[in-house]
Amino acid sequence: QKEVEQNSGPLSVPEGAIASLNCTYSDRVSQSFFWYRQYSGKSPELIMSIYSNGDKEDGRFTAQLNKASQYVSLLIRDSQPSDSATYLCAVKYIASKLTFGTGTRLQVTL
Amino acid sequence: EAGVAQSPRYKIIEKRQSVAFWCNPISGHATLYWYQQILGQGPKLLIQFQNNGVVDDSQLPKDRFSAERLKGVDSTLKIQPAKLEDSAVYLCASSLEGTQSNQPQHFGDGTRLSIL
């Protein structure tokens, strides 16, 4: 069974620090990778997608993919209290559905 | 661009009753998904439509859940009869293309269902 694993947290970081969120997946035959942010009581919101090995930067967010080690991470620089949310990692396997992890809860403290 | 529309936002019913949810995807999106998200878990796919055809319904409890997308645009998801374990948020998502593509999925606000 293809799985996506995340530490549920909470991950607590002070305001202005770098938050590092990690995700591992079980199958090498993966196609694309997504990070969604979900505020409490709200729906998931896409913040990053990454398809090839290496880093992809978008503003304060950087996604990192290492297919050989089967992990994908999300770095949030200059963390703000508004970044406090649950971050869902999702992996799209070839010819299959999008599989979500259980999410990591991030708390940015003042 | 208007997002994925869902209704109702909240629904409270008693067990063994029936309930229906509605979803209208982003204009032009051929693929529509229904997910169930139980508190503290990630979304779990229930059913995926490509236009008006079902692509994947392997995790849909077909004895009580049904879904349709008759004209390839909006969709309804029904539960009949509801059980206590169906209490969850039901999310609809859409994307430009389906299984073979890398297109990201965009979610609606969801329907929060409580079973008493």
CB hemisphere CA count around A95 (13 angstroms): 1
Which residues of chain B does A3 touch, with a Cβ-Cβ cutoff of 8 Å?
Answer: none
Task: Report B:33-52 residues touching A (Cβ under 8 A).
Answer: 33, 40-45, 48
Q: State the pLDDT at residue B77.
A: 98
Distances (CA, A) of A46 to A20, A29, A76, B15, B99: 17, 22, 14, 34, 18
The reply to whether residue B99 touches residue A95, judged by beta carbons under 8 angstroms, is yes
Each residue's pLDDT expressed in tens, for chain B with a length of 116 residues: 689 999 999 999 999 999 999 999 999 999 999 999 999 899 999 999 998 899 999 999 999 999 999 888 999 999 999 999 999 999 999 998 755 567 889 999 999 999 99
The structure tokens listed for A76 are: 């949030």
Could you tell me which chain A residue has the CA closest to the CA of B108?
A: A43
Residues A41-55: tens digit of each pLDDT: 899 999 999 999 999
User: Is the pLDDT confidence value at A11 over 70?
Assistant: yes
> What is the per-residue pLDDT for A107?
97
Residue A30 pLDDT class (50, 70, 90 cuts): confident
Question: Would you state the pLDDT for residue A92?
Answer: 87
Q: What is the pLDDT of residue B101?
A: 64
Closest CB to B102 among A36, A51, A103: A51
How close B29 comes to chain A (CA, Å)?
A: 16
Of the partner residues B40, B43, B102, the one whose CB lies closest to the CB of residue A44: B43
Confidence at residue A95, expressed as pLDDT on a 0 to 100 scale: 67
If contacts are CB pairs under 8 Å, which of residues 53-112 in chain B contact chain A?
56, 89, 91, 99-100, 102, 104-110, 112
Angstrom distances, CA of residue B87 to CA of B58, B79, B90, B114: 20, 11, 9, 5
Facing residue for A43 by CB, picked from B41, B102, B108: B108
Please report where in the chains the tokens 């979304």 appear, as a residue: B43
Give the model's pLDDT for residue B70. 83
Closest CB to B110 among A32, A43, A100 = A43
Residue A96: predicted pLDDT: 72
CA-based nearest distance B99→chain A, Å: 5
Mean pLDDT of A30-48: 92
Q: Tens of pLDDT along A83-109?
A: 999 999 999 877 678 899 999 999 999
pLDDT per residue over A64-79, tens digit each?
Answer: 999 989 999 999 999 9
How far is B104 from B110, CA to CA, in rounded Å?
A: 17
